[in-house]
Amino acid sequence: MYFKGSDYMLSMDNLKLLCELSKLHLSEDEMKEYQKEMTDIINLMDTIGDSDFEYNPIDMTNAIPFGELRADNITEFDNMDGIVKNGPEVIENQFVVPKIVD
């Protein structure tokens, strides 16, 4: 169980569950490395959450000067064959990609 203010250690079971949900296949060495990295990230977020700051809204309307926006003109692309020849598999001018989500 995690209590705010204590150092959290991501369990190997939780990491395995995250890998399963993310469809990642990691070796035992990678799992140990990612366990430490994820634990460090979680503890850093806890540190940031404990920071003492106050929201101070500032008029940001002129913070970043923008030039005049260009017109959004629709044009016909005329080199479709040049683009699709870069794909490993193309059907009807569309790239075929592997299914990711079951």
- Is 61's pLDDT higher than 80? no
Q: Are 89 and 95 in contact (CB under 8 A)?
A: yes
Tokens 């008029």 belong to 59
C-beta atoms surrounding 39 within 10 Å? 16
List Cβ neighbours of 100 (8 Å cut-off, separation of 6 or more): 23
Tens digits of per-residue pLDDT, 16-49?
999 999 999 999 999 999 999 999 988 888 888 7
User: Tokens representing 62?
Assistant: 């002129």
Question: Could you give the CA distance from residue 25 to residue 51 in angstroms, rounded to a whole number?
Answer: 36
- pLDDT recorded at residue 63: 65
- Is 4's pLDDT higher than 60? no
